[in-house]
Amino acid sequence: MNIPFMKLAAAVAVSLLALNANAEARFPVDMPKPKEGQLVHIPPTMEDLEKSDFHPELKRVIRRGYDLFMNTQQLRGKNVFNNMNCSSCHMGEGRLPYAGPVWPAAVTLPAYRPKNDHVNNLEERIAGCFSYSMNGTPPEYGSDDMLALAAYHQWLAKGVEMFPSKPIYGRGYPKLDDPQQKPDYARGKQVYEAKCSICHSNDGSGLVQNGKVVFPSVWGDASYNWGAGISRHFTLAAFVKYNMPLGQRGTLTDQEAWDVAYYINTQERPQDPRYTGDVKETRAKYESTFHKFTSYGESVNGRLLGNHDNVGEKPFLKPEVLKPRTFTAN
Ligand code: HEC
Ligand code: HEC
């Protein structure tokens, strides 16, 4: 082989490596690859923000949004009543495909959401995760914190067209194929105890050290409530498959992910904020849009799940924003 060719080959190899390293830094390479016709977006980073020519005041607002997203615990007792940060479920700073990237909300809303049966904007979507996933109540619409969080989402969406017509690669936690065997509590418990309890603990409570959440709770009073999107078995199974165990993503089989998701989501957690006072009635009311995917109001191992008034650490059941809303203007 002649020398110039080898040099060229080496140069190509080096630049490919650099490309991969760059992709690795921004997107882990072990995620499923994009399919033909999907919209692929690599969100900008906070470093990119510092380098941008945005007004310093706008940079300040976006930085605050990032800080709230990564350390939402600073709002504990005010807006957050469990031990989650937004980044506990939206991994990689809310930028990663298959890990609940948050920027799609900035380009697909306003939109009609069956979950609450009206048109939602970005603030209201963020409010949803505060009400259910954080078992709390959102910062007020138009407040500094809401402005900052929304700005961070919009920054991540930089360059993407509004209302894109292509399906978005890696949006949410893309659904796994149906499990070969019906998800099973005992098998799920085995997976949990072998691969998860070391961090999330045997009783699901996780680990809080010196007031800092090291490992978030996967069930119990300090976890997400019965109305949270991740309490749906298929959503949790996909989250786990693509994101857990932390640092060993993708090592569970699909069946193990379904089983452990079933085990976690058949433990107790704070009441669904839409609770009517009767678990069967609440399940029936939201069955078709939501609870057909959860075990809320079902009997598992002789326990009727969600049959209690426990709202976790918050001093109320239903945040103001969950009251029904109708658009009345013509
Ligand atoms: C306990 C897990 C969890 C936590 C904590 C959480 N979320 Fe979510 N979030 C979800 C799930 C599940 C979805 C729905 C994903 C899907 O549709 O598959 C979601 C969806 C979203 C979306 C819509 C994304 C899209 O594709 O349109 C936004 C925006 C969002 N969350 C923002 C937040 C913010 C801001 C916080 C913190 C205040 C937060 N979330 C905390 C689980 C969580
Ligand atoms: C090495 C420690 C570690 C292991 C092992 C681990 N996790 Fe996690 N898990 C975390 C951390 C840390 C987070 C929060 C993500 C972040 O902040 O980056 C998390 C987040 C979660 C969440 C979303 C937030 C919540 O508390 O509900 C779920 C659900 C979850 N893990 C389930 C699992 C399951 C199931 C397994 C086993 C298959 C597992 N984890 C193994 C550390 C771990």
- Cite the DSSP H helix spans in the chain: 3-26, 46-51, 56-70, 91-94, 103-108, 122-131, 144-156, 185-195, 197-200, 233-243, 254-264, 279-285
CA of residue 112 to ligand 1 center, whole Å: 17
Ligand 1, CB cutoff 6 Å, lining residues: 72, 84, 86, 88-90, 100, 102, 104-105, 108, 125-126, 129-130, 133-134, 149, 153, 171-173, 224, 228-230, 235
Cis peptide before 174 (omega within 30 of 0): no
* Nearest ligand by distance to the CA of 100: 1
185-322 CATH: 1.10.760.10
The answer to whether the CB of 80 falls within 8 A of the CB of 136 is yes
Task: Tell me which residue has its CA closest to atom 34 in ligand 2.
Answer: 196
Q: Which residue is closest in CA terms to ligand 1's atom 29?
A: 102
Query: What 8-state DSSP symbol labels residue 212?
Result: E
How remote is the CA of residue 101 from the centroid of ligand 1, in Å? 8
DSSP state of 76: B
Q: What is the pLDDT of residue 14?
A: 39
| CA dihedral of 288, 291, 294, 300, whole degrees rounded to 10 | -110
Handedness of CA 169, 170, 172, 177 (dihedral sign): positive
Between CA 217 and CA 224, with CA 219 as vertex, the angle to 5 degrees is 80
The predicted structure's pLDDT at residue 211: 82
User: What pLDDT does 40 receive?
Assistant: 96
The answer to whether 46-156 and 185-322 have equal CATH topology is: yes
What distance in Å separates the CA atoms of residue 157 and residue 171, rounded to the nearest whole number? 13
Rg (CA), the chain: 21
Q: What is the DSSP string of 78-100?
A: TTB-SS--GGGTSHHHHT-TTS-
| CATH class assigned to 46-156 | mainly alpha
Write down the pLDDT at residue 31: 80
Looking at the CA of 149, which ligand is closest?
1
For every one of its 330 residues, what pLDDT tens digit does the chain have, with 9 covering 90 and above?
Answer: 444 444 444 434 433 344 344 444 456 656 888 999 999 999 999 999 999 999 999 999 999 999 999 999 999 999 999 999 999 999 999 999 999 999 999 999 999 998 888 999 999 999 999 999 999 999 999 999 999 999 999 999 999 999 999 999 999 999 999 999 999 999 999 999 999 999 999 999 999 998 889 999 999 999 999 999 999 999 999 999 999 999 998 899 999 999 999 999 999 999 999 999 999 999 999 999 999 999 999 999 999 999 999 999 999 999 998 887 888 887
Under DSSP, is residue 321 helix (H, G, I), strand (E, B) or coil?
Answer: helix
Give residue 323's pLDDT.
Answer: 81
Residue 314 pLDDT: 97
Q: For the chain, how long is the longest CA-to-CA vector?
A: 80
User: Quick one: which of 286, 313, 290, 325 has its CA closest to 123?
Assistant: 325
Residue the block writes with tokens 């939501």: 290
Q: Which ligand is nearest to the CA of 293?
A: 1
218 lines ligand 2 (CB under 6 A): yes
Bridge partners for 256 per DSSP: none
Spatial distance between the Cα atoms of 255 and 249, rounded to a whole number of angstroms: 15
- pLDDT value, residue 15: 39
Q: Quote the ligand 1 centre to 228 CA distance (angstroms).
A: 9
What does the pLDDT read at residue 167? Answer: 97
Q: What is the pLDDT of residue 29?
A: 56
Return the ligand 2 atom nearest residue 83 CA. 26
pLDDT at res. 1: 40
The residue ranges of every structural domain in the chain are 46-156, 185-322
